[in-house]
A and B are shown apart, each in its own frame.
Chain A
Amino acid sequence: MSDMLADSPEAAPSLLSVRDLAVHIRTDGGLARILDGVSFDLPPGGTLGIVGESGCGKSTLLRAILGILPKGARVPQGQVLFQGQDILRAPVRGRIGFIPQDPYLSLNPVFRAGDQLLEGMRRHASGSRDEHRRKLVSLFQAVQLPEPENALDKYPHQFSGGQRQRLLIAAALACDPDLVVADEPTTALDVTTQLEILALLRGLTAERGMGLLFVTHDFGVLSAVCEDVAVLYAGRVADWGPTGNVLADPRHPYTRMLLACHPDRATDLVGIPGTVPAATAQPPGCRFHPRCPIARPVCSQAVPEPLRIFDGSRVACPFHADPLPEVALG
């Protein structure tokens, strides 16, 4: 599946354009093909959600965009264009804000929060230290940290898990980025606080045309924030399209079975049978075929091409119109 969007109807100039991206990492157990032929576009002000099972390559995708892939990683093919510039060759920092998945590992425990965040701003934003301080304090207020004026002077351990997460959200927004890539940014937040944060991010996309690439496992959050969604499975895009369509009428068997696992929907707690293949041993053909209840012989032979279905939705399964057996849907 090469270019999912090459003939995309909406010709809005892209803020971010990912083309046929692959990422490989050498491991003791062999070559891990983590991403394979991932393509999508994000216009200015656009919001794209990335969902997919744990380990399917979401964080790796964000790291590739940020130019911070781990040691041993290679990009054998593909492009990441940010405002038209190929950033795999020349990474841009400062204009892309990053909210990392693990706030605990992203803050150094021995330095005050303020010193760490201000150092980041000194490198990427203009203005004086005092202006930077004021900016951070106003963002702390916006992300609902208690006592925003004092937060700069505290050490990371003096915050709760969700407060640390909000520190990093503020840090990502501090340099007025054109694009924010957020890796599960609200997992440690209660739903009322989460609501405020999501409104803040959505507001920035609407007012300033900031683009938002948002990894999440929460379909409720997805519906609330993202216009479009790409569903990844084992490093490939399975479904892509407007969020409302994908949620109301999921087509890829993986997406259908995943949605059926929602605790509000499932009759019993059963996940999708089988496990995600190790990145070093991806099955041939459609990577979902060993777990797919409607797989046919061709599925293990040919990599399915993305098919356009309606309203710009694409699905990488030739049998997406086939019904799934009841049992597969919980």
Chain B
Amino acid sequence: MAELIAARDLVVELGAERGLLKRRAGVRAVDGVSLSVAAGETFGVVGESGCGKTTLARTLLGLQRESGGEIRLEGALVSGASPAQARRQRAAVQYVHQDPGAALDPWWRVGATLAEGLRIQGTTDRAEATVRIAEILRAVGLDPALGDRYPHELSGGQQRRIGLARILLLRPKLVILDEPTAGLDLSVQAAVLRLLRDLRDRFGLTYLFISHDLSVVRRVCDQVAVMYLGRIVEQAPTAELFAQPRHPYTRALLAAAPRLGAQASVPGLRGDPPSLRAIPSGCRFHPRCPLADAICAAEEPTKQSVAAGHDVCCHHWRDAA
């Protein structure tokens, strides 16, 4: 399959201040990420809260400027542009926000927000717009009458589905979904996941799917990349990743997933959560890793191939089996 979007050695620095009097170094929220998403695929990104997933998404979108590395969209180099130009070049990439409340204009009825999206996309016929809005609302499990409401008159899950509907109406090529099923009940979640699949089949959409819900990731993603502290530490086809996780962090993550009806839970990760202002030497995971030894603290592991399409950054991945 053709590559739709790709990043190479992407670095994103946040929070740097360059005032006259004050100078504060930023933090590298994304630090050398390379990935390649094929057209029509669903590419999952998982990882610890704060590891840089949303920052990666915003950078691929062009909302956040990269400090290093490059981004290609359908083969063309799109990184290095000014923010306004970057967004124009990347109109085919759309983002469904992690915080549903952040994505909707509080002063607009949600139906008007949806109609505005359609207008931008070129649908000017009022009747057609009404039909398409009702159609997408039903597809995300909402009563079309909710179009008359303001965002604050909707529940959290209803807001999230409006945000999703708004982006899907734009018919982008790539949709970056940031926690699209958080706060949805299982029934609505199933309906939303099915809608995403149907749209992909009908219009050839591609998804970058950021999620903490491993059951959902396992169900819908073709590939999964696991991030830890700004880096991708493991990537593999979904079935392989879940069956044979090789990075100790991936293994801890999969083990911690809550299970239906399970009472006791395994211990989480030991050690303090890492700080971007004090990135550990060698392997960034070594202070919390059960397999760490002297080499882990001294040398940064390079990417190694476990199997076709399965890469891992760990000195001791062979022992993690």
Task: Identify the A interface with B (CB < 8 A).
Answer: 27-29, 51-55, 58-59, 70, 101-105, 144-147, 158-163, 165-166, 183-184, 187-196, 198-199, 217-221, 223-224, 244, 247-248, 257-259, 261-266, 269-272, 275-278, 280
Contacts and interface: CB of A to CB of B under 8 A. Distances in A.
A275 B158 CA distance: 12
B189 A55 contact: no
Contacts of A103: 99
Given A105-B101, A220-B257, A248-B261, 8 more contacts: A70-B152, A103-B99, A146-B50, A146-B274, A217-B186, A223-B258, A263-B193, A271-B186
B197 A269 contact: yes
A271 B141 contact: yes
B153 interface: yes
Interface centre among A103, A145, A183, A220 (most CB of B within 10 A): A220
Nearest to B196: A269
Interface in B234-281: 252-253, 256-263, 265-269, 272-277
Interface of B: 14-15, 46-50, 53-54, 98-102, 138, 141-143, 145-146, 148-149, 152-158, 161, 178-179, 182-191, 193-194, 197, 212-216, 218-219, 252-253, 256-263, 265-269, 272-277
Contact of B146 (A165, A244, A266, A278): A278
A116 to B, nearest CB: 17
Contact of B187 (A53, A161, A184): A53
B212 to A, nearest CB: 5
A187 B261 CA distance: 19
A272 B189 CA distance: 10
Contacts of A162: 49-50, 212
A269 B193 contact: yes
B255 to A, nearest CB: 9
B253 A54 contact: no
B183 A54 contact: yes
A270 B256 CA distance: 27
A270 B268 CA distance: 33
A190 B219 CA distance: 17
10 contacts: A27-B153, A55-B155, A102-B100, A102-B156, A160-B50, A165-B49, A217-B186, A269-B197, A277-B143, A278-B145
B42 to A, nearest CB: 13
A29 B145 CA distance: 9
Contacts of B141: 54, 271, 275-276
Nearest to A218: B258
B155 A263 contact: no
B148 A29 contact: yes
Contacts of A27: 149, 153
Contacts of B257: 191, 220
B259 A263 contact: no
A102 B101 contact: yes
Interface centre among A144, A191, A248 (most CB of B within 10 A): A191
Contacts of B53: 160
Nearest to A248: B261
Nearest to B252: A192
Given A104-B99, A188-B179, A271-B141, A247 B186 contact: no
Given A163-B50, A191-B253, A259 B186 contact: yes
A184 B183 contact: yes
A263 B215 contact: yes
Given A54-B185, A59-B155, A263 B261 contact: no
A261 B186 contact: yes
B18 to A, nearest CB: 16
B268 A146 contact: no
B154 to A, nearest CB: 8
A55 B155 CA distance: 5
Contacts of A144: 272-273
A216 to B, nearest CB: 10
A195 B256 contact: yes
B29 to A, nearest CB: 8
A270 B266 CA distance: 31
Contacts of A263: 186, 189-190, 193, 215-216, 218-219
A104 B54 CA distance: 14
A195 B265 contact: yes
Contacts of B179: 161, 187-188
Contact of B138 (A51, A257, A275): A275
B258 A224 contact: yes
A220 B260 contact: yes
Given A27-B153, A191-B212, A53 B262 contact: no
B190 A51 contact: no
Nearest to A266: B190
A262 B146 CA distance: 26
A284 to B, nearest CB: 18
A101 B183 contact: yes
Contacts of A51: 185
A68 to B, nearest CB: 13
Contacts of B218: 263
Nearest to B154: A55
Interface centre among A165, A192, A223, A244 (most CB of B within 10 A): A192
Contact of B265 (A28, A158, A224, A265): A224
B99 A187 contact: no
